[in-house]
Homo-oligomer: A and B are copies of this chain.
Amino acid sequence: MKLASLRDGGRDGTLVAVSRDLQTAVRTADIAPTLQIALENWDQVEEALGLVYSALNEGRADGAFDVDISDLASPLPRALQFLDGSAYLPHVERVRRARGAEMPPSFLTDPLMYQAASDGFLPPAGTIAVASEDYGIDFEAEVGVITGDVPMGATPDSCDRHIRLVCLINDVSLRNLIPVELGKGFGFMQSKPRSALSPVAVTPDELGDAWSGGKINLPLMTHYNGELFGQPECGVDMQFSFPELIAHAAHTRPLSAGTLIGSGTIANQDESRGASCLAERRMLEIIADGAASTPFMSFGDTVRIEMLDGAGNSVFGAIEHIVSRYDGP
């Protein structure tokens, strides 16, 4: 099942089912008006949504219409919680090396995770407005899962069944603000503004065999200014599976339905797969050449993040962003 939210209909958007080929959609207001409400009542709505989705794929859904990505908000236009892990240790190791820090061995067993902004997500297609290029504007291509209600103390073994949906994330980062924020010890705050999700979120079964062990075994493709920038394998070098990340998040508190858990920037030890953020490419340049030659994003630069299945079809639709200047309130 593939679900999305139209921008209209209020702050939570309007829930629609989207066909597997991402071409058509149908409103599901009679089942659940918003994705958040669907997630809060999943056991009651899942079957009905599945029937609509089947009808849509078979061309027999009443009220089906052609989807225009520009009409879509993020599937959750806002969420109660976004906990972003950093499960790909090649990324962690390189980014830390870039700021002169080593990776402690405990990172192999104790997941990195921070509480990120979730009060609003950017639309999957559109602008990232930033006040200054001096902030060191960067993208981070990630995958994420959206959970149902998770009880406090849930074990990793039990967390697979709390995963409702899978999506892509562009975790927008302001690299030059990170050192000061992390230096204060309280997390990223100003250095991580609003992120965006992929046009659609999908149930794990949509991934078929590519979903196994609580990981996605497909590459995540990033294009930067129209050129292929990276396509690391999401199933490789992910130190902690999504169920493990969920259990980590729920260790001392329950998680509410609609919680987004991010994987962290996808990165492989195999450098030939390219990178999923500029910071990492810059680090590789420093290692090779002694200095970074790739600048951070300028106004007008574009990024496209997409995942294709084994047959070459887009699973989630593409995140497509252009950076623009924010002129103030």
A binding-site residues for B, Cβ under 8 Å? 11, 40, 78-81, 83, 86, 104, 106-107, 110, 112-120, 129-131, 135, 151-154, 158, 174, 177, 180, 182-191, 193-194, 248-249, 251-256, 258-259, 326, 328-329
A178 to chain B, nearest CB (A): 10
27 contacts between A and B (CB under 8 A): A11-B256, A78-B80, A78-B256, A79-B80, A80-B119, A81-B118, A83-B189, A110-B184, A112-B186, A114-B186, A114-B187, A117-B253, A119-B256, A119-B259, A130-B252, A131-B152, A131-B153, A151-B329, A152-B193, A153-B326, A154-B329, A182-B185, A186-B187, A187-B188, A190-B248, A193-B253, A194-B253
For A107, list chain B residues within 8 Å (CB). 184
A154 and chain B: residue at smallest CB distance = B329
A155 and chain B: residue at smallest CB distance = B329
A152 and B249 alpha carbons, distance in the complex (Å): 29
A180 and B135 alpha carbons, distance in the complex (Å): 29
**Given A131-B252, A329-B153, are A80 and B118 also a contact pair (CB < 8 Å)?**
yes
Beta-carbon contact of B115 and A117 below 8 Å:
yes
A188 and B129 alpha carbons, distance in the complex (Å): 28
A184 and B185 alpha carbons, distance in the complex (Å): 9
Beta-carbon contact of B117 and A129 below 8 Å:
no
For A116, list chain B residues within 8 Å (CB). 115
Beta-carbon contact of B119 and A252 below 8 Å:
no
A255 and chain B: residue at smallest CB distance = B119
Given contacts A78-B80, A174-B252, list 20 more A-B pairs with CB under 8 A: A11-B40, A11-B256, A79-B80, A80-B80, A80-B118, A81-B118, A86-B186, A106-B180, A110-B184, A114-B187, A114-B189, A115-B115, A115-B116, A115-B189, A117-B253, A129-B152, A158-B329, A182-B185, A185-B185, A193-B252
For A328, list chain B residues within 8 Å (CB). 153
A65 and B74 alpha carbons, distance in the complex (Å): 42
